[in-house]
Structure 1
Amino acid sequence: MTPEPAGVPSAEPLTELGFYTLAGHSGRPRDLVDEVRDAERLGLGATFISERFSTKDAATLSGAAGAVSETIGIATAATNHNTRHPIVTATMATTMHRLTGGRFALGLGRGFDGLFRALGLAPITGAQLEDVAGLLRRLWRGEVVTGHDGPAGRYPYLHQDRDFDEDIPILLTALGTRTLELAGRCMDAVVLHTFYSDVAVTGALAALARGAESVGREPRSVRVWSVLATVSDEIPEDRRLLKTVGRLASYLQGYGDLMVRVNDWDPAVLARFRADSLVSGFRGAFDARATTAELEHLATLIPPDWLSTSATGTAQQCAEAVARQFDLGVTGVILHGATPRELASVVEAYRGIRPHGVRGLPANPGRVA
């Protein structure tokens, strides 16, 4: 049985650790309430909220997380700027900022080009992200924006409140090199991707540093979160398959070429994966619809070293994998794919080997100081 989280908050929250609430596909958004409360009792430092156009609206979930918590940091990771008017996004972030006493970071992402085209929206570009970040910061400073005509759109008039002076971090989820360089230039924090190899993490940090240095920023001023699928053997085997094989297979469905490139994996393996009759004929995401038998078949198509980019095994082994992420140079680790209750033993083991250099970070996941 998975141990219950501790009944009282930790004396020292692990502000360098986070988790994704409602990880993956979820039709029960109210589960967030217990997950955030459990995470706060366990001492996890931040909760990250992803968005799916079904029952996972980022604004609604962020408000719920803020309402049922007192200390944990909260970030969207991510929402898309092109699905809301910038004044709506700015208002959501300002409301969350004040609701949580400064614990909120607005996380943006590029999303999927094909989906946006199907919805009648233009795909997101790096120039748009940089432009909208500038717009949001101006609004949060109380400025009146008139006659804006830039990559993010044309807006005759944008304004919130001239008395505003809100310092709200902007975070970017990033996979490719150019997006990481953009984050280094103009974002406060970055979230990497699940199933990143050590090579990919190192390359991501180098790209971010290039972007930061190109505009005279100190790379260490950007908080960097790696995302580590953390699935201990306390979780039943069928669920472990879903959270590891199913999740990675879903990513390979969506943007396999990019994952292969950043991880320096063999593209021939991806080609064989795509040619498989189950993969080519499957409708929907594997981590939402695949049966256990189908997941077992998918496991034969994915090399063990691709799956080894996750934390698996005993709680102690998972904790050691988490701690090793900091050796690569990241600032935080998001334990992805498991609920706080499922992570309790891993977090307990991590406390025993917690690196000294990661302590004292702010609760807000978008800040380093």
Structure 2
Amino acid sequence: MVAGMRLSIWPGAAQPYCDILDVAAHAAGTGWDGVWIADHFMANTPVEVRPDLPVLEAGSLVAALGAAVPRVRVGTLVYGNTYRHPAVVANMAATVDHITGGRFVLGVGAGWQVNEHVQYGIDLPPVTRLLDRFVEALQVLHGLLRTPVTTFHGEHYRLTDATCDPKPVQQPLPILIGAKGEKRMLKVVAEYADEWNAWGLPELIAHKSRVLDGHCATVGRDPAAVRRTAQALVVVDGPVPTDLPAPVYGGSPSAIAATVEAYRELGLDELIIPDGLLGKGAEKLKALDTIRAIVKD
């Protein structure tokens, strides 16, 4: 067993709910540790192109999976801050934590996907303003989820004697931040996150993790207080694509094992497996069993 490293599945939301539920239930029943859901409303295509993949909404999915699937942690990877007021997100998160009996992880990010903002008329400000707004949202989330009453007067959000009750089952409910920017975003992680997530193969994650350690030192926080999570696409049996925008590893069980060992060596707390290259139906469930055997046995 790879000591100390959780193993979680990330079923894509651009598939029927019954398929997502099958994957999540199979993972829960075979020793996996978590299920993650991305927050998007459509495929990431140019704004002039209509997406050809229907996508289910993240908040509804984590609530449904939390009620239907036992034992495993359930989380968002990650809620885009531009899509919902953070007070709404806080209430949603507390509710899902009650539905799951204290198994929810609130994953949040600044927001980025252009076509969603254009089609829905949602403001996507320049990067500096986007991140300023995200930092304010994190302060709102911390206040509402972890203190009895929150008053906050920022540039982007204003709350006066605001409550979020009932509070989550978990105290504190873990907040995960998805971030890769080394200068500012990883400093935000050091300041506000219980967990950090990024796409990347072991070498990149090790580098980003060292940068995060440096920011923790700057803000006076123990680096061990921020748990590290990461993902890349996985091929269980077959050629590894070289033309995808996302990182990929595997191709054989031995190649997967070598990469998993590299993640373990850098001290990763949780390895997340997107299901995008694992096939469909029974083939996908068999791939999950192969990965679990590699990581856990």
Q: TM-score, normalised by structure 1?
A: 0.66
Structure 1 unaligned segments of length 5 or more: list them. Answer: 1-11, 252-308, 353-369
**One-letter amino acid of the structure 1 residue matched with residue 291 of structure 2:** V
RMSD between superposed Cα atoms in Å: 2.8
Question: Distance in 2 between the 1:163 and 1:341 partners?
Answer: 39
Q: Out of 158-167 and 82-91, give the one that drifted further.
A: 158-167
Percent identical residues: 24
- Residue 198 of structure 1 and its aligned partner are, at CA, apart by 3.9
Is contact 2:9-2:272 (8 Å) kept? yes
Structure 2 unaligned segments of length 5 or more: list them. Answer: 43-54, 279-283
Q: What does residue 122 of structure 1 align with?
A: 124
Question: Distance in 1 between the 2:56 and 2:218 partners?
Answer: 36
- Residue 323 of structure 1 and its aligned partner are, at CA, apart by 2.2
Q: What does residue 182 of structure 1 align with?
A: 188
Question: Distance in 2 between the 1:202 and 1:15 partners?
Answer: 15
CA displacement, residues 129-148 of structure 1 (integer Å, 9 cap, x when unaligned): 232222112212353334x3
- Residue 107 of structure 1 and its aligned partner are, at CA, apart by 0.4
Is contact 2:83-2:122 (8 Å) kept? no
- Residue 85 of structure 1 and its aligned partner are, at CA, apart by 2.1
- Residue 42 of structure 1 and its aligned partner are, at CA, apart by 1.8
Is contact 2:76-2:107 (8 Å) kept? yes
Q: What does residue 43 of structure 1 align with?
A: 31
Q: What does residue 329 of structure 1 align with?
A: 267
Return the match for 1:227 from 231, 255, 265: 231
Question: Distance in 2 between the 1:340 and 1:185 partners?
Answer: 38
Say which SS state the counterpart of residue 35 (structure 2) adopts.
strand
Q: What does residue 50 of structure 2 align with?
A: none
Question: Distance in 1 between the 2:115 and 2:268 partners?
Answer: 31
CA displacement, residues 94-136 of structure 1 (integer Å, 9 cap, x when unaligned): 0111111211111011232634652331336333223222211
Say which SS state the counterpart of residue 19 (structure 1) adopts.
strand
- Residue 351 of structure 1 and its aligned partner are, at CA, apart by 2.9
**One-letter amino acid of the structure 1 residue matched with residue 20 of structure 2:** L
- Residue 14 of structure 1 and its aligned partner are, at CA, apart by 8.3
Question: Distance in 1 between the 2:65 and 2:166 partners?
Answer: 28
Question: Distance in 1 between the 2:78 and 2:271 partners?
Answer: 16
CA displacement, residues 153-202 of structure 1 (integer Å, 9 cap, x when unaligned): 23445322387784211101112212122112210001111xx2444212
- Residue 56 of structure 1 and its aligned partner are, at CA, apart by 2.4
Q: What does residue 139 of structure 2 align with?
A: 134
Is contact 1:20-1:48 (8 Å) kept? yes
Q: What does residue 20 of structure 2 align with?
A: 32
Is contact 2:186-2:212 (8 Å) kept? yes
- Residue 15 of structure 1 and its aligned partner are, at CA, apart by 6.0
Is contact 1:126-1:182 (8 Å) kept? no
Q: What does residue 289 of structure 2 align with?
A: 344
Is contact 2:229-2:271 (8 Å) kept? yes
Say which SS state the counterpart of residue 106 (structure 1) adopts.
strand
**One-letter amino acid of the structure 2 residue matched with residue 121 of structure 1:** D
Is contact 1:326-1:332 (8 Å) kept? no
Q: What does residue 212 of structure 1 align with?
A: 216
Is contact 1:232-1:318 (8 Å) kept? yes
Is contact 2:102-2:168 (8 Å) kept? no
Question: Distance in 1 between the 2:4 and 2:21 partners?
Answer: 20
Say which SS state the counterpart of residue 192 (structure 1) adopts.
strand
Question: Distance in 1 between the 2:92 and 2:28 partners?
Answer: 23
